[in-house]
């Protein structure tokens, strides 16, 4: 694949196969990350909230033979890790350091990963306000898209996506309730994978919704995502949703098949396309040709479920579960460190703290506080109906009726601007059905929309994580190297400091 004039060609290399699999984590490398991430006024990515004080010790103790021996990984700052506060971007949690690892962090450490630090996020995972700005938090400021600092990194795993895209770490962990892994990955040109809900533990992760929340890997390649998923997946006795995880997980890396597109019947979700930009639709049509050339059998799906109704029901579910689940989480924190013991306390804290509401308010928090709990018949019906419409009558029905093994669509269009006053807005999204159903959703870089990255989404049935990763891996292989803008803001896409780049 040759690059057009003014573009550079970039080929991602997996840390699982490359000879320079590991990047040395040294004091110089850590200072370089800090300098690059925060050191360039007005254009700095601002993706990392803090670096771990124990990263050097972890790097020295890493086992070469382990799955992630020596690989530096960043965590979204709603995931607890011993030795660092977990703030969800809020000043209300600035001192929240209970000294415990989330089970997925324990799994990462046991596999030899080096926990490099915490990434910025859309505050409270983008659930505080209907007017929130993606990538902004009171603790971390505004994370910037490395392709264009004036455009959104999307939310809420914005810092995780930007850090990987900018070369600060080869992998990061994000979380998603609806689009918060896949959208940031798409608009920053990386791979993001939202697993089946219940495959990965949510314990000691600041929650929104026990029905839809999950953590997942954000990486440069699908192979790397498969390696990280294989480490973090598994049953957690403290998270009932993961009861089947040990029985369902497989060796996701070993299951990757570069030829898996041959003969694969894949459903094209045409009913979603009108909401995307013209440029993204054109890129998608070109990509369909690439898939067909690789042997995929594409089946148009002109009609889908009632997306507006699913969205309305999802909102009811999220508001009720936010209050319930966040109250449980806050009650589990150390009262000496976290004075806000309930959602109502957080609302009062925000009202009294000007730094929290300088850009937008907290109308969603207030709506959640007014809900009536998990026994409310409206909530019970909304959850049952949304799950049925998105899952059995949505993804499952489309796949069965059209005899396909996966569904595809653009993940979203180009990143919109951070200016809330202009007319540039988000265009198109493939995340809702998989988010509400709790099914796997993978985004892989597809191309450019006016010079900004856009991704291709692969969606499958429950527990079909390995198949979806394999299809994305096969597409990645036939797609070839991605093109990236040369000069201007593209200069923020950096070689990782400290040597051992996984990019070429």
Residue 452: phi and psi, rounded to 5, are -105, 145
Residue 141: phi and psi, rounded to 5, are 75, -155
Residue 384: how many other CB atoms lie within 10 Å = 12
Active site residue 76: yes
Write the DSSP assignment of 3-45 as a string of letters.
PPTTEEEE-B--TTT-TT------HHHHHHHHHHHHSSTTT--
User: What is the DSSP-derived secondary structure letter of residue 77?
Assistant: T
Active site residue 180: yes
Let me know: does 472 contact 191? Beta carbons within 8 Å: yes
What is the Cα–Cα distance from 177 to 163, expressed in whole angstroms? 20
SS3 386: helix
Length of the chain: 504
In the set 47, 122, 180, 386, the catalytic residue is 180
Cα dist from 184 to 19, 341, 429, whole Å: 29, 30, 12
298 half-sphere exposure, CB direction, 13 A CA radius: 18
What is the Cα–Cα distance from 83 to 61, expressed in whole angstroms? 17
In the set 14, 76, 158, 323, the catalytic residue is 76
What's the burial of 473, exposed, middle or buried (CB within 10 Å: 0-12/13-18/19+)?
buried
What is the Cα–Cα distance from 216 to 211, expressed in whole angstroms? 15
Sign of the C-alpha dihedral, residues 221, 226, 227, 231?
positive
DSSP H or E segment with residue 212 = none
What is the Cα–Cα distance from 145 to 134, expressed in whole angstroms? 10
Peptide bond into 156 cis (omega under 30): yes
Active site residue 323: no
366 pairs with which residues across the strands? none
What is the Cα–Cα distance from 95 to 314, expressed in whole angstroms? 32
Residue 477: phi and psi, rounded to 5, are -70, -40
136 pairs with which residues across the strands? 142
Let me know: does 68 contact 166? Beta carbons within 8 Å: no
What are the residues whose beta carbons fall under 8 Å from the beta carbon of 38, sequence distance 6 or more?
44, 46, 48
Residue 315: how many other CB atoms lie within 10 Å = 15
In the set 129, 156, 201, 260, the catalytic residue is 156
Let me know: does 129 contact 38? Beta carbons within 8 Å: no
Q: What is the largest CA-CA distance in the chain?
A: 61
What residues are annotated to the active site?
A: 76, 156, 180
């Amino acid at each position: 694949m040759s690059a057009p004039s003014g573009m550079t060609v970039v080929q991602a290399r997996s840390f699982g196969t490359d000879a320079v699999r590991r990047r040395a984590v040294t004091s110089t490398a850590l200072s370089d990350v800090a300098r690059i991430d925060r050191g360039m006024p007005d254009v700095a990515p601002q993706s990392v909230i803090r670096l771990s004080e124990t990263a050097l010790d972890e790097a020295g103790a890493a086992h070469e033979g382990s799955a992630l021996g020596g690989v530096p990984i960043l965590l979204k700052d709603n995931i607890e890790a011993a030795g660092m506060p977990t703030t969800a971007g809020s000043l209300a949690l600035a001192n929240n350091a209970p000294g415990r690892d989330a089970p997925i962090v324990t799994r990462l450490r046991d596999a030899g990963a080096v926990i490099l630090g915490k990434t910025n996020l859309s505050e409270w995972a983008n659930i505080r306000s209907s007017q929130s700005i993606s990538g902004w938090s009171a603790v971390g400021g505004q994370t910037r898209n490395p392709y264009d600092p004036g455009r959104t990194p999307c939310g809420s795993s914005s810092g995780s996506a930007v850090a990987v895209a900018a070369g600060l770490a080869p992998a990061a962990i994000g979380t998603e309730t609806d689009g918060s892994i896949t959208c940031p990955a798409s608009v920053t040109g990386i791979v993001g994978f939202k697993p089946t809900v219940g495959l990965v533990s949510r314990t000691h992760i600041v929650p929104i919704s026990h029905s839809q929340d999950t953590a997942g890997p954000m990486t440069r390649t699908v192979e790397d995502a498969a390696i990280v998923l294989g480490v973090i997946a598994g049953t957690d006795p403290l998270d009932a949703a993961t009861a089947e995880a040990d029985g369902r997980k497989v060796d996701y890396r070993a299951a990757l098949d570069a030829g898996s597109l041959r003969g694969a019947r894949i459903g094209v979700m045409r009913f979603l396309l009108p909401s995307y930009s013209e440029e993204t639709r054109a890129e998608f049509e070109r990509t369909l040709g690439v898939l067909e050339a690789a042997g995929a059998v594409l089946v148009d799906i002109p009609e889908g479920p009632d997306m507006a109704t699913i969205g309305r029901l999802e909102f009811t579910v999220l508001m009720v579960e936010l209050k319930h689940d966040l109250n449980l989480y806050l009650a589990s924190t150390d009262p000496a460190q976290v004075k806000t013991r309930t959602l109502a306390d957080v609302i009062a804290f925000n009202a009294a703290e000007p730094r929290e509401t300088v850009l937008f308010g907290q109308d969603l928090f207030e709506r959640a506080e007014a809900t009536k709990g998990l026994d409310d018949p409206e909530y019970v019906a909304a959850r049952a109906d949304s799950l049925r419409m998105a899952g059995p009558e949505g993804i499952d029905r489309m796949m069965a009726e059209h005899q396909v093994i996966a569904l595809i669509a653009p993940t979203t269009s180009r990143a919109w601007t951070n200016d809330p006053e202009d007319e540039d807005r988000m265009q198109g999204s493939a995340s809702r059905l998989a988010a509400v159903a709790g099914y796997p959703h993978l985004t892989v870089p597809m191309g450019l929309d006016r010079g900004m990255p856009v991704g291709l989404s692969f969606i499958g049935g429950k527990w079909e994580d390995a198949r979806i990763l394999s299809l994305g891996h096969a597409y990645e292989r036939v797609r070839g190297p991605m093109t990236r803008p040369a000069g201007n803001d593209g200069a923020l896409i950096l070689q990782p400091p400290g040597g051992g780049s996984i990019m070429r």
